[in-house]
């Protein structure tokens, strides 16, 4: 489906399975051991001996995070309070953490892209460069549990941060896609109207649905996403579908540039 809109001024991106993917993630045990070592290192630094093992605490935080996100996506899309999850895990282990310790514990549970085998798609950098060279403004709208300074550092590590004027992350904004407030945050940061903007993402239920509800051009990136990740409802049907980022150049809103 294609529609006629105002000339595009801004392009927003999702990250996972859009600008990068994880073609060969490590076994779960490798990640679990790495997180356990981080949590144990914190306890050693603090000079405490919790009533529960680092393995139990890490597993509890992971399960609580997954459940909180499932509930959010099935209800009002309000982002979970992740620090509350970390605080509860620490208190159940017999600790009384202060705010800084809660933040450190949650951050220790951030596996991060390098550990998970993140690979930037081959045409990511060249596509982002192409957009900037033609005067498009670039931002990101992403659902994340760890979207603060450490995530921005990961973007810097991959030489991606320089492309984005804004990174609207659900854990920082307080709302998950497809809720309109996270889109409003990103649009407001760039000062552009929805009709002047496009979102490129891999999830019909979050990216396409949210963008269409805002009146943005919705572009579904399916090149590296699971084959069963397809639209399930009319409001999940994109305006355009691409299998690689470089195909953006041929789409009507970009070809005119």
Q: Give the mean pLDDT of the chain.
A: 94
As a whole number, mean pLDDT of residues 57-63 equals: 94
Task: Give the per-residue pLDDT at 113.
Answer: 84
Total count of residues recorded for the chain = 257
Query: pLDDT digit string (tens) for 156-205?
Result: 999 999 999 999 999 999 999 999 999 999 999 999 999 999 999 999 99
Q: What global pTM score does this model have?
A: 0.94
Complete DSSP assignment for 155-219: HHHTT-GGG-SEEEEHHHHSB-TTSHHHHHHHHHHHT--GGGEEEEES-IIIIIHHHHHHT-EEE
Complete DSSP assignment for 86-152: HHHHHHHTT----HHHHHHHHHHT---HHHHT-EE-TTHHHHHHHHHHTT-EEEEEE--SS-SHHHH
- Residue 65, pLDDT > 60, answer yes
Task: Give the per-residue pLDDT at 149.
Answer: 93
What sign does the dihedral 209-228-81-138 (CA atoms) show? negative
Percentage of the chain modeled with pLDDT above 70 = 98
Q: Are strands 217-221 and 197-201 parallel, antiparallel or unpaired?
A: parallel
As a whole number, mean pLDDT of residues 62-86 equals: 97
Task: Give the per-residue pLDDT at 2.
Answer: 45
Task: Give the per-residue pLDDT at 243.
Answer: 97
DSSP 79: P
Confidence of residue 257 (pLDDT cuts 50, 70, 90): low
User: Token match 């903007």: residue?
Assistant: 197
Query: pLDDT digit string (tens) for 112-124?
Result: 888 899 999 999 9
Complete DSSP assignment for 216-237: -EEEEE-SSS-TT----SGGG-
- Residue 207, pLDDT > 90, answer yes
Contact predicate 39/48, CB 8 Å: no
**Which secondary structure element, helix H or strand E, spans residue 20, and what is its range?**
strand 20-21
- Residue 5, pLDDT > 80, answer no
């Amino acid at each position: 489906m294609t529609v006629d809109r105002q000339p595009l001024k801004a392009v927003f991106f999702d990250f996972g399975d859009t600008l990068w993917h994880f073609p060969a993630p490590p076994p779960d045990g490798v990640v679990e051991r790495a997180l356990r070592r981080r949590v144990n290192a914190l306890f050693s630094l603090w000079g405490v001996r919790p009533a529960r093992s680092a393995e139990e605490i890490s597993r509890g935080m992971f399960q609580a995070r997954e459940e909180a996100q499932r509930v959010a996506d099935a209800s009002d899309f309000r982002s979970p309070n992740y620090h509350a999850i970390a605080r509860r895990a620490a208190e159940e282990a017999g600790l009384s953490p202060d705010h800084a310790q809660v933040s450190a514990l949650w951050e220790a549970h951030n596996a991060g892209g390098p550990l998970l085998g993140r690979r930037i798609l081959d045409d990511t950098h060249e596509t982002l460069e192409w957009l900037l060279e033609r005067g498009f403004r670039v931002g990101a709208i992403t659902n994340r549990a760890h979207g603060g300074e450490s995530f921005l550092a990961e973007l810097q590590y991959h030489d991606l941060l320089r492309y984005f004027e804004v990174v609207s992350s659900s854990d920082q904004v307080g709302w998950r896609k497809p809720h309109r407030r996270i889109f409003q945050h990103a649009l407001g940061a760039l000062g552009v109207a929805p009709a002047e903007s496009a979102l490129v993402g891999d999830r019909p239920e979050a990216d396409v649905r949210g963008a269409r509800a805002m009146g943005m051009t919705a572009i579904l990136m399916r090149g590296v996403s699971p084959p069963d990740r397809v639209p399930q409802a009319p409001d999940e049907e994109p305006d355009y579908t691409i299998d690689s980022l470089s195909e953006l150049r041929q789409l009507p809103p970009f070809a005119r540039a």
